[in-house]
Structure 1
Amino acid sequence: MSSPVEIPFKSVILLERGTATPVYLQIARQMINAIQRGVLNKGVKLPGTRSLAEMLDVHRKTVVAAYNELDAQGWIEMLPNKGTFVTDKSPVLKAGSLPFNAENLVSYPQETGFSFERSMLLDRPVSVSGTGLEFTDGLPDVRLAPMDKLAKAYSSVLKRSNNRKYLNYAHVEGNTYFRDKLAIYLNNTRGLHISRENIITTRGIQMGIYLASMLLIRKGDHVVVGNLSYYTANMIFQQAGANIISVPVDDQGISVDAVRELCLTKSIRMLYITPHHHYPTTVTLSAGRRVELLNLSVQYGFIILEDDHDYDFHYNSSPVLPLASADSAGMVVYVGSFCKALAPGLRSGYIVAPRNLISELGKFRRIIDRQSDLMMEQALAELLDEGEIQRHIKKAQKIYHQRRDLLSTLLTQHLSEYLNFTSPPGGLAIWTEWQKDINLMRLSKACLKKDLLLPQTLLFQTGQLSAVRLGFGNLNEHELNEAVSIMKEVLENKP
């Protein structure tokens, strides 16, 4: 055993008073850290409990407790009449002792010591938080969420002893009762003809797209999307190794003629569409084109991945039924969620497909998510059965209808010299096309200085296009007026 050495323990052990971690544990853990990093070597004699207590300005009993903890874990040994030593059995980094630096002991590495592949495909602009107002790409107003109803239902589910089975692991594609009620709801609202065996639950639409892509797409497969299309879906397809081919979108939706021409020259694996309101332009895919796309999918064997992200919100008339409602050949994989109908934070989505695909998707989901939130799904099922969710959607639809009309009026009255738009028949956003000499990034930065966030993900500016997708769902009447007023003020000052 070596003699005591001069080690600046006051620099090695940095205590934080008033935290949840007891002081003696802070001392013990930081000494372990010092031993592991080679600052305290094997065989080093440690100060006596009184000496260390004086150095650290703590009670001697605190140091005694810390030493007892270190001894119990095998990091030190206390020898009668000799002192306390770092045990010879203490493991240290094989790379040798690190130069002493107190920050080495209390900070986490800023970067890995190994290399890994970084994906530029998954990069997205980071949203600024803490601003006053924000235009989204079409998110709902969480203030409208039926939290009282949901809380009551969830609490009731938790209290029932027969629901404790949902606390265990399960090997199902979601809560059976929820899938039963969801099937009825989808059949009634979307004209489907499904049962629970055709449904697997997910944590939202993005998870549904991811699961379908990982199972159905192989490297080099051709996936057709609209120009423009949902950027997150494109990221997922590229991450799966797909070759993305874009086709034009007009006022009737995605171009069927362009899809047909592609099929003559390439083997198309999948067509991704958001038919109810195309993302981001909000146009509705016409009924005639839906039938044509279904016929093409059967003729050429490509999958239709139908993302119906905002089907629940339509204002002018009844919505056109999804392609899945007319699919008799099993070519459509239908993805939806309650995230917009209720709130984005309530991650409840689903995939509808033929049984054999649902079974295989279940295997994939269990790799990344052993099971869904069976308790929450039970609560949602009861709300569906009682008609509470349906009533909430009907009430919210009226409010969003009013907000769409208000934003349309405000844009016409105050910004018509800068942009053009068509009021959408549904959804929670308006697609606006701007004068090409307006720099949208400068507009966004100028608005941010006035506490209006216009995220980069909403801006579409190229040589041929200058457009912004303005979500109105999350803003009430006062907020919409204020947001448009800020944009007008900024535009008049020529950003």
Structure 2
Amino acid sequence: MFSFKSNITLTRGSSRNLYLQLCDQVISFIKSGKIPPSTKLPSSRKLSEDLHVHRKTIIAAYDELISQGWIETIPSRGTFVTSSLPLVQPKKFNFSALNNIAKEKSGFSFVTRPHLLRKLNAKNSLETLIIDDGIPDHRLAPNEEIGRIYRNITKKSYHKNLLTYGSIYGNTELRNNLVSYLNETRGLNVSMDNILITRGSQMGIYLASQLLLTNKNRIITGSTNYMTADNTFTEAGGIIEQVPTDNDGLDTIAVEKICKIKKISAVYVTSHHHHPTTVTLSAKRRMHLLQLAQQYNFAIIEDDYDYDFHYSNSPILPLASNDTNGNVIYIGGFTKIIAPALRIGYLIAPKDFVDEAARLRRIIDRQGDTILEQTLAQMIHTGDIQKHCNKVVKIYKARRDLFCLLLKEKLDNYFDFEVPKGGMAVWVTLNKAYNWDIICSKAKAVQLEVTPDWRRYDNDNSGHNGIRMGFASLNEEEIHEAINRLVTVFEKL
């Protein structure tokens, strides 16, 4: 005979009501087989006396269990565990496991993806400085403008339709405003039909790769490349063909040689600031790549992740601005301009490709944050986005100049680098006498975190010893301190 008095423990003062605590434990005993189907339960009066709680608490618990189908009341007979429940073989019951919801091992098999395994950043103390691989400073985000516009939108009754299902292509007003914004700032010639709103540029890369690379289709990338893009292409089932990159960007002569002997479905390029080395694809190679795309009928996935951040002169127009044959899939977003958490990007392509990408996006993520997209649409219309962009470009340029100056003055014996024309990071090559594993390990001792997974930059295992060192997310005081700590690391070597 199961003893409710000795097995049920209720905690007063808990955030969970007593009757729900009772429900949780009764359900657990039923699931474990300790209380089998058709077992008669104590009366509400008897159980309230045994557990020292008000009878209404027991009645509320029984009502909840009845509504969930765990127990049933039979007139003139009493309350029983539902007879139709399957009989469970009792096991040794571990009551402490009731509150242990973090299970480590699955009780089923599933597909694993080793190529997606990546070292996670450790939790750092407030005193730790981080030299990342080039991300924006979220502290500069225009929070007041975003909040003000967002609140105004939610207050307007005619915006209530934003709370229901919308277009799988994204917010209509945002797409419409992007037409003017992108045509003016990037020299494109697109309409709303060419625009799909995505959850950041990474979703755009994923959608494009799923449509282009299944069945082991081939894609050309640089021998040094954005590792997340490579992982995405591999996940899609594509085969990656690598070509060299130099000071003029992707080697298009090498691209042509591969196209002559193999069927190529796509070429991935970060034309404005090659990731990771930051170099710009030369005008000659841009034209050559477009010619090859037309000749061999492949797509160019142009990831223009930080177009707006060019410091030496005006930003160089993307390949998409000269695409007359419908070969370029142009991907960008507002993550770098505003903040990483603002996951709004766009995929620009011919209408038939956008239509298919939208259908695929529908089964991954039905739609984005419609209110946030409406907020961004208004910020583009009022010019707030461009004003903010102009502001942070000046700040990041000053940080780049200071970071490179201090690297040159204090660490010239250890690093080779060129001052980048744009972007948010410097591509530095460590003297071959030193090892990044040792540097990163010793940096932790002085509370400095240097890009922990540095091997992801060495896609072709050439051992070039180069990494990206971001400057944008550090203010000038932090840059001084980070370089001083790095100097300390090398002095200890």
Give the deviation of 1:305 after TM superposition.
Answer: 0.3
Q: Is the 8 A contact 2:32 2:93 kept in 1?
A: no
Matched, 1:127 2:124: no
Question: Aligned in 2, Cα 1:272/1:41: closer, same or farther, shift over 3 Å?
Answer: same
Distance, in Å, in 1 between the alignment partners of 2:86 and 2:6 is 20
Q: Which residue of 2 aligns with 1:427?
A: 423
Equivalences for residues 320-399 of structure 1 within 5 A = 320-399=316-395
Deviations 1:9-60 (A, max 9, x none): 44xx454554432121111122112102212112334455566556656445
Deviations 1:412-436 (A, max 9, x none): 1211111111110000000100012
Q: Which residue of 2 aligns with 1:262?
A: 258
Q: 2:91 aligns with which of 98, 101, 111?
A: 98
Q: 2:15 aligns with which of 13, 20, 40?
A: 20
Matched, 1:29 2:24: yes
The AA in structure 1 aligned to 2:475 is N
Distance, in Å, in 1 between the alignment partners of 2:312 and 2:54 is 74
Give the deviation of 1:361 after TM superposition.
Answer: 1.2
Q: 2:151 aligns with which of 152, 155, 174?
A: 155
Deviations 1:430-479 (A, max 9, x none): 01000122121222122223322223234546563112211111110111
The AA in structure 1 aligned to 2:104 is Q
Deviations 1:212-262 (A, max 9, x none): 111122221111100100111111100111111111000010101110111
Q: Which residue of 2 aligns with 1:309?
A: 305
Query: Higher mean Cα deviation, 396-405 or 191-200?
Result: 191-200
SS of corresponding position for 2:337: coil
Q: Which residue of 2 aligns with 1:5?
A: 2
Q: Which residue of 2 aligns with 1:474?
A: 473
Q: Which residue of 2 aligns with 1:487?
A: 486
Question: Aligned in 2, Cα 1:83/1:359: closer, same or farther, shift over 3 Å?
Answer: closer
Distance, in Å, in 1 between the alignment partners of 2:139 and 2:263 is 46
Distance, in Å, in 2 between the alignment partners of 1:117 and 1:458 is 27
Distance, in Å, in 1 between the alignment partners of 2:187 and 2:79 is 77
Matched, 1:227 2:226: no
SS of corresponding position for 1:244: strand
Distance, in Å, in 2 between the alignment partners of 1:7 and 1:321 is 74
The AA in structure 1 aligned to 2:281 is L
Distance, in Å, in 1 between the alignment partners of 2:52 and 2:466 is 63
SS of corresponding position for 2:453: helix
Q: Which residue of 1 aligns with 2:398?
A: 402
Give the deviation of 1:63 after TM superposition.
Answer: 3.2
Query: Higher mean Cα deviation, 212-221 or 268-277?
Result: 212-221
Distance, in Å, in 2 between the alignment partners of 1:17 and 1:482 is 51
Q: Is the 8 A contact 2:439 2:489 kept in 1?
A: yes
Q: Which residue of 1 aligns with 2:315?
A: 319
Q: Is the 8 A contact 2:451 2:469 kept in 1?
A: no
SS of corresponding position for 1:305: strand
Q: 2:244 aligns with which of 233, 240, 248?
A: 248
Distance, in Å, in 2 between the alignment partners of 1:436 and 1:448 is 21
Q: List alignment gaps of at least 5 residues for structure 1.
A: none
Distance, in Å, in 2 between the alignment partners of 1:120 and 1:413 is 41
Q: Which residue of 2 aligns with 1:111?
A: 105
Give the deviation of 1:321 after TM superposition.
Answer: 0.9
The AA in structure 2 aligned to 1:37 is S
Distance, in Å, in 2 between the alignment partners of 1:164 and 1:36 is 44
Distance, in Å, in 2 between the alignment partners of 1:352 and 1:333 is 6
Question: Aligned in 2, Cα 1:286/1:14: closer, same or farther, shift over 3 Å?
Answer: farther
Q: Which residue of 2 aligns with 1:88?
A: 83
Query: Higher mean Cα deviation, 162-171 or 331-340?
Result: 162-171
Distance, in Å, in 2 between the alignment partners of 1:66 and 1:346 is 43
Query: Higher mean Cα deviation, 162-171 or 342-351?
Result: 162-171
SS of corresponding position for 2:268: strand
Matched, 1:65 2:64: no
Question: Aligned in 2, Cα 1:204/1:14: closer, same or farther, shift over 3 Å?
Answer: farther
The AA in structure 1 aligned to 2:111 is E
Deviations 1:286-316 (A, max 9, x none): 1111000000111111110000000010101
Q: Is the 8 A contact 2:186 2:318 kept in 1?
A: yes
Matched, 1:194 2:207: no
Q: Which residue of 2 aligns with 1:412?
A: 408
SS of corresponding position for 2:265: strand
Q: Is the 8 A contact 2:213 2:265 kept in 1?
A: yes
The AA in structure 1 aligned to 2:2 is V
Question: Aligned in 2, Cα 1:165/1:77: closer, same or farther, shift over 3 Å?
Answer: closer
Question: Aligned in 2, Cα 1:78/1:176: closer, same or farther, shift over 3 Å?
Answer: closer
Distance, in Å, in 2 between the alignment partners of 1:316 and 1:98 is 71
Distance, in Å, in 2 between the alignment partners of 1:7 and 1:16 is 15
The AA in structure 1 aligned to 2:105 is E
Distance, in Å, in 2 between the alignment partners of 1:58 and 1:125 is 50
Q: Which residue of 1 aligns with 2:440?
A: 444
Give the RMSD, CA atoms, in angstroms: 2.1
Question: Aligned in 2, Cα 1:243/1:44: closer, same or farther, shift over 3 Å?
Answer: same
SS of corresponding position for 1:456: coil
Distance, in Å, in 2 between the alignment partners of 1:415 and 1:54 is 76
Q: Is the 8 A contact 1:128 1:453 kept in 2?
A: no
Deviations 1:52-77 (A, max 9, x none): 55665644543343234324444335
Deviations 1:325-349 (A, max 9, x none): 0000000000000000011101110
Question: Aligned in 2, Cα 1:73/1:202: closer, same or farther, shift over 3 Å?
Answer: closer
Question: Aligned in 2, Cα 1:161/1:119: closer, same or farther, shift over 3 Å?
Answer: same
Q: Normalising to structure 2: TM-score of the pair?
A: 0.93
Query: Higher mean Cα deviation, 160-169 or 392-401?
Result: 160-169
Question: Aligned in 2, Cα 1:295/1:493: closer, same or farther, shift over 3 Å?
Answer: same
Q: Which residue of 2 aligns with 1:185?
A: 181
